[in-house]
Structure 1
Amino acid sequence: MKAVLALGSNLGRRFQTLQGAVDALFDAPGLEFVRASPVYETDPVGGPEGQQPYLNAVVVAETTLEPRTLLERALSVENAFGRVRTEHWGPRTLDVDLIVVGETRCDDPDLTLPHPRAHERAFVLVPWLEADQDAEVPGRGRAVDLLAGLDRAGVRLRPDLTLQRPD
């Protein structure tokens, strides 16, 4: 089934962290790389004032993993890159969010699918549409339609940064 993962970083070596996350996510069986979006620099949304801009990208994959197993892998990769969870929506070395995993719908405290705020976040929808023109948030609609109602001003393409296919 198709899996869509959103990556973000606003601490440290942001681009190297995103590339390292892509490499680490696909370094074990069960997740097959399809494509990555271009990289965007984005203004922080929510959270404390004074945060640095994020680098964001979306990765589209095929997976045989159960959503919880994929979540465990994502959290493990975050931890490997020094993710510390001290402040809600605070700055971070790496954020790996599961946006959709097939048509799975889940509303558990530790796993909500589709991602509960993806449909209202230009920093997710803009790169996702670059990676998948047919992107759709189950139960919410097509990403292109959802994006039409959002402000994209804080989402800027970084043509100088390109994520490479994992080794």
Structure 2
Amino acid sequence: MPEGGGDILVAIGANLPGTDGAAPLATCRRAAGTLDGLLGLSLVAVSRWWETAPEPPDPASPWYVNGVARLRGEADPAALLAALQAIEAAAGRVRPYPNAPRTLDLDIVAIGRLLRTAPDPVLPHPRAHLRRFVLEPLREVFPGWTDPASGRSVTEMLLALPDAPMRPAG
């Protein structure tokens, strides 16, 4: 299978209502549905949805809804990033400053075993191993996943992280 083939992991998150007034959970569910068939990929699993505190902490920012989708197929990293950014833009995503609250955030966590340091997207995602709100739902959809850069399992990475405020959504 080519480098860009296999299992593709996409983190999904939101903490602001969509431009249509939809709650973050509804926006995330809709976004997960749009991934099926995107660039010929198949959606094989979606984690449960989690409510998570903003990272870094921001008392003025609402909690996020987060989850992870597992896709299968082949995708060019740049084309996938562009497609995900188009979905974000359609949901009203703006980027006024780093870690700003958002109507939708779609991040490529990994594309198969592909290692890529430049250009964007960097793969695997350079901060996924630091984010419980990514790793907990990732473990649900792909419990045997190992980070292709470090060789550590998702469970090993979770055990290395401090506790973080999160609860099942809904």
TM over 0.5: yes
Cα distance change of structure 1 residues 36 and 90 upon mapping to structure 2, 3 Å threshold: same
**Partner of residue 104, structure 1:** 114
> Secondary structure of the residue that 2:8 maps to in structure 1?
strand
> Secondary structure of the residue that 1:137 maps to in structure 2?
coil
**Partner of residue 167, structure 2:** 156
**What is the TM-score of this pair, normalised by structure 1?**
0.89
Cα distance change of structure 1 residues 153 and 46 upon mapping to structure 2, 3 Å threshold: closer
For structure 2, the residue ranges without an aligned partner over 5 or more in a row are 1-5, 18-22
Tell me whether 1:76 sits opposite 2:86 in the alignment: yes
More strand by share: 1
Structure-to-structure mapping, 1:56-135, within 5 angstroms: 56-135=66-145
User: Which runs of 4 or more aligned residues in structure 1 lie more than 4 Å from their structure 2 counterparts after TM superposition?
Assistant: none
> Secondary structure of the residue that 1:62 maps to in structure 2?
strand
> C-alpha distance in 1, partners of 2:149/2:57?
27
Contact 2:37 2:43 in 1 (8 A): no
1:66 to partner: Cα distance:
1.1
Q: Which residue of 31, 44, 53 corresponds with 1:43?
A: 53
**What is the TM-score of this pair, normalised by structure 2?**
0.88
Cα distance change of structure 1 residues 30 and 85 upon mapping to structure 2, 3 Å threshold: same
> Secondary structure of the residue that 2:137 maps to in structure 1?
helix
> C-alpha distance in 2, partners of 1:47/1:152?
14
> C-alpha distance in 2, partners of 1:9/1:28?
20
1:28 to partner: Cα distance:
3.6
Cα distance change of structure 1 residues 109 and 48 upon mapping to structure 2, 3 Å threshold: farther
The one-letter code sitting in structure 1 at the alignment partner of 2:160 is G
For structure 1, the residue ranges without an aligned partner over 5 or more in a row are 161-167
> C-alpha distance in 1, partners of 2:8/2:14?
20
> Secondary structure of the residue that 2:43 maps to in structure 1?
strand
> Secondary structure of the residue that 2:117 maps to in structure 1?
strand
The alignment's C-alpha RMSD in Å is 1.4
Structure-to-structure mapping, 1:4-19, within 5 angstroms: 4-12=9-17, 13-19=23-29
> C-alpha distance in 2, partners of 1:49/1:138?
35
> C-alpha distance in 2, partners of 1:28/1:54?
24
Contact 2:115 2:149 in 1 (8 A): no
